[in-house]
């Protein structure tokens, strides 16, 4: 009624004011002043130096889960100090039931979601959108990552050099952090940073934070952080890290030695030049085997450290691997140094410039690969520039070039993107709208454009999402990821997720979402799927999920779905259902069961997945997973099985031995990846890696690969 009472031009004016008004997160964010010290601090988790008693105390953490804004069920004290070269944070987590503290992992860089933990967030530029994150659990396991655009891009594979120790006592547990300023990028001369802290009490599935406790806002909403004052006169030294390494690969007749070098130099406190020579990724985790029952390529995440460092500076607004299905990724670093057969291509060297210059975020990369058989040596270049607008918005430009030294074709793309975001839409609601435009450069192509937009209102009790994408049939990001071309796609997602506060229930969410994909020139329907998922989350942390889906698919050409089974072209309509149970990950035994059934093209398909995780103590972790797909079609039947087994043995947070076995009936390959990691101290590491593969033949498994590597890295800081 209100909108009808306004003249049309006034309606547009009001909407424009709502969208363009600057976002204000906290009118008066909480504040603390770091204490300058000149005495040595031993990082042992004890907090027994007298300097800790002189530091200011944060003791007003409030619940974000389960009861928004309520006082924490257990007291937490946080103290912050600094010397000229290091930031120190001490946390005392009081606990009335210390025997119930959940601490199940020791391994460096594993997700600690199942444990009691403390997380620090440092917005070193005070730009209220990007941050460094440091996390420890009660056992002392360390995890870190970089947050870009308030969590739009999260890079958990970033590895900084920092120190932390914990202790469990009759009164709870303590955590002591030491973070060298050399590890961080920050605005020179700025003495105030954004700062926030989160504590999770796992047995109660309780999350408490210092600032920004609204359930509508995740902890990684950097704009909700408090303020850390008093960081005067801090420095990074020369800002130079030199990391030589050597890799040895024992062979039958000789041992191959491969030296290499990584250099990181901070041109300014906020801009880093990275150089790599004779790069080796032998310590990287192997890919998980995936079952593909579609006609589109699968997405495998990047796991190589050189490309993961500062990856957020190369990400495009709402075009990342976590942005949704069938997304376009303009720059996908796995196109560099990994051939179509999945094997590594050696990198001769590379250079990367990343960081900030005022309101601009910069990412520049150039890498040269070595020739491998029929695969020529190639040069890859990426330039990404992003300019911050207002408090949470941005506009950006990206360009990629791929060149072959053998005189092959040079390809690439250019594009731009825009994103407006606020957390004060219609009061305290989240709202974001974005758009992108891309043009690829492939010789003798004309229909080589891609563009789209999306609107997103991601709120706790309700969410509305809509997207439009168009990809012309000759568009090809040869240095990116484009799973489907020649389409026009409409997508939507509507969710209601009330918190009833009864029936032992934390939240119930039900949604209506789908995709509508047509051929652009004729508007011929290619794919339509409609989903109705519902998830019941219990106070215990257990979750029950049901989903029903209807799919309409038009195949313009036949495709092979399994060995000897080919789906002919034509139109298909099928309906499927899915049920899933996930037990709470706070338990020493965690179970996940999935059953999916229903029609599939002209037949039926039943899928089973069972996974069990065993975490009796921080020293041992075992995960076993089994998947089976049974298809019964007029064109033929198929059964696909996939088995994964992960086992980790850790002596302490610095020494761990990880083993990963997997087998599938498509490739009939059984593979083993075994990695022993010894962190002598952060930045100085030893890896022992062994890979073994067996292929099935005549009912027997025959070895096809035996590969061992030893990699030693040492970091010199200046």
pLDDT at 308: 80
Tell me the per-residue pLDDT of 4-37, one tens digit each, with 9 for 90 and over. 333 443 433 333 433 444 434 445 899 999 999 9
CATH second-level architecture of 22-229?
Sandwich (2.60)
Highest mean pLDDT among 49-53, 244-248, 372-376: 49-53
pLDDT higher than 70, residue 3: no
597 neighbors 571 (Cβ within 8 angstroms): no
pLDDT higher than 90, residue 439: yes
DSSP type of residue 375: B
The span from the CA of 595 to the CA of 218, in Å, is: 31
Tell me the H-state helices in 506-660: none
pLDDT at 12: 37
Phi/psi for 453 (5° steps) reads: -155, 165
410 neighbors 403 (Cβ within 8 angstroms): yes
pLDDT at 188: 84
The span from the CA of 509 to the CA of 506, in Å, is: 10
Tell me the per-residue pLDDT of 380-419, one tens digit each, with 9 for 90 and over. 999 999 999 988 899 999 999 999 876 678 999 999 999 9
pLDDT at 328: 86
pLDDT at 27: 56
pLDDT higher than 90, residue 501: no
The span from the CA of 218 to the CA of 214, in Å, is: 8
pLDDT higher than 50, residue 207: yes
Q: What distance separates the 2 farthest-apart alpha carbons in the chain?
A: 87
The span from the CA of 374 to the CA of 406, in Å, is: 11
The mean of the pLDDT values for the chain is 90
pLDDT at 322: 56
Q: How many CB atoms lie within 10 A of CB 699?
A: 5
Tell me the per-residue pLDDT of 245-287, one tens digit each, with 9 for 90 and over. 998 877 666 778 889 999 999 999 999 999 999 887 777 778 8
Tell me the per-residue pLDDT of 131-169, one tens digit each, with 9 for 90 and over. 999 999 999 999 999 998 888 778 887 889 999 999 999
Location of each CATH 2.60.40.1190 domain in the chain? 22-229
pLDDT higher than 70, residue 210: yes
- Whole-model pTM: value is 0.89
Strand partners, 207: 65, 200
Tell me the per-residue pLDDT of 68-91, one tens digit each, with 9 for 90 and over. 999 999 999 999 999 999 999 999
User: Which tokens in the block code for residue 291?
Assistant: 């079952």
């Amino acid at each position: 009624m209100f909108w009808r009472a306004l003249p049309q031009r006034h309606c547009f004016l009001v909407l424009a004011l709502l969208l363009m008004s600057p976002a204000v997160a906290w009118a008066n964010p909480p504040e603390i002043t770091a204490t300058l010290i000149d005495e040595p601090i031993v990082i042992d988790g004890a907090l027994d130096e007298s300097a800790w008693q002189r530091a200011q105390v944060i003791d007003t953490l409030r619940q974000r889960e389960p009861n928004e804004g309520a006082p924490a069920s257990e007291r937490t004290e946080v103290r912050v100090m600094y010397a000229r070269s290091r930031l120190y944070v001490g946390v005392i987590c009081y606990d009335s039931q210390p025997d119930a503290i959940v601490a199940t992992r020791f391994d460096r860089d594993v997700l600690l979601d199942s444990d009691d933990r403390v997380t620090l967030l440092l917005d070193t530029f005070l730009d209220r959108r990007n941050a460094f994150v440091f996390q420890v659990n009660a056992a002392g396991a360390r995890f870190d990552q970089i947050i870009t655009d308030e969590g739009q891009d999260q890079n958990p594979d970033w590895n900084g050099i920092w120190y932390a120790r914990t202790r469990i006592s009759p009164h709870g547990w303590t955590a002591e952090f030491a973070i060298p300023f050399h590890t961080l990028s920050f605005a020179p001369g700025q003495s105030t940073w954004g700062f926030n802290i989160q504590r999770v009490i796992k047995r109660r599935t309780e999350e408490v934070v210092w600032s920004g406790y609204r359930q509508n806002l995740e902890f990684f909403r950097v704009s909700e952080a408090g303020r850390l004052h008093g960081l005067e006169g801090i420095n990074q030294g020369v800002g130079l890290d030199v990391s030589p390494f050597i890799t040895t690969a024992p062979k039958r007749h000789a041992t191959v030695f491969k030296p290499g070098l990584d250099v990181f130099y901070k041109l300014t406190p906020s801009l880093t030049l990275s150089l790599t020579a004779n790069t080796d990724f032998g310590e990287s985790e192997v890919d998980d085997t995936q079952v593909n029952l579609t006609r589109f390529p699968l997405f495998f995440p990047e796991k190589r450290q050189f490309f993961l460092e500062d990856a957020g500076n190369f990400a495009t607004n709402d075009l990342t691997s976590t942005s949704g299905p069938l997304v376009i990724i303009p720059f996908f670093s796995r196109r560099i140094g990994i051939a179509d057969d999945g094997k590594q291509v050696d990198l001769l060297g590379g250079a990367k410039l990343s960081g900030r210059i005022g309101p601009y975020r910069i990412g520049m990369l150039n890498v040269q690969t070595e020739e491998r058989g029929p695969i020529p040596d190639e040069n890859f270049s990426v330039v990404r520039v992003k300019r911050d607008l207002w408090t949470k918005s941005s506009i950006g430009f990206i360009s990629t070039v791929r060149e072959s030294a053998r005189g092959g074709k040079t390809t690439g793309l250019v594009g731009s993107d825009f994103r407006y975001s606020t957390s004060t839409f219609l009061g305290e609601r989240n709202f974001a709208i974005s758009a992108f435009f891309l043009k690829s450069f492939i010789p003798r192509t004309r229909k080589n454009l891609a563009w789209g937009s999306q609107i997103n209102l991601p709120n706790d009790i309700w969410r509305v999402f809509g997207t439009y994408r168009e990809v012309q049939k000759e568009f090809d990001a040869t240095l990116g990821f484009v799973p489907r071309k020649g389409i026009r796609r409409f997508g939507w997602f509507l969710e209601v997720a009330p918190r009833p506060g009864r029936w032992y229930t934390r939240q119930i969410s039900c949604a209506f979402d789908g995709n509508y994909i047509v051929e652009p020139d004729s508007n011929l329907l290619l794919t339509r799927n409609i989903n109705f998922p519902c998830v019941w989350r219990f106070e215990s942390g257990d979750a029950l999920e049901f989903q029903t889906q209807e799919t309409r698919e038009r195949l313009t050409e036949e495709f092979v779905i399994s060995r000897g089974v080919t789906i002919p072209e034509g139109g298909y309509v099928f309906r499927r259902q899915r049920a899933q149970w996930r037990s709470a990950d706070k338990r020493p035994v965690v179970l996940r069961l999935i059953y999916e059934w229903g029609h599939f093209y002209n037949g039926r398909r039943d899928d089973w997945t069972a996974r069990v995780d065993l975490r009796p103590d921080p020293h041992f972790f075992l995960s076993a997973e089994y998947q089976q797909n049974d298809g019964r079609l007029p064109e033929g039947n198929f059964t696909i099985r996939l088995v994964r087994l992960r086992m980790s043995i850790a002596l302490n947070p610095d020494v761990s031995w990880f083993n990963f076995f997997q087998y599938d009936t498509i490739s009939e390959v059984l593979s083993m990846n075994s990695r022993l990691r010894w962190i002598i101290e952060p930045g100085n590491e030893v890896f022992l890696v062994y890979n073994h593969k067996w292929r099935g033949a005549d009912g027997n498994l025959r070895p096809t690969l035996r590969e061992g590597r030893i990699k030693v890295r040492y970091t010199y800081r200046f």
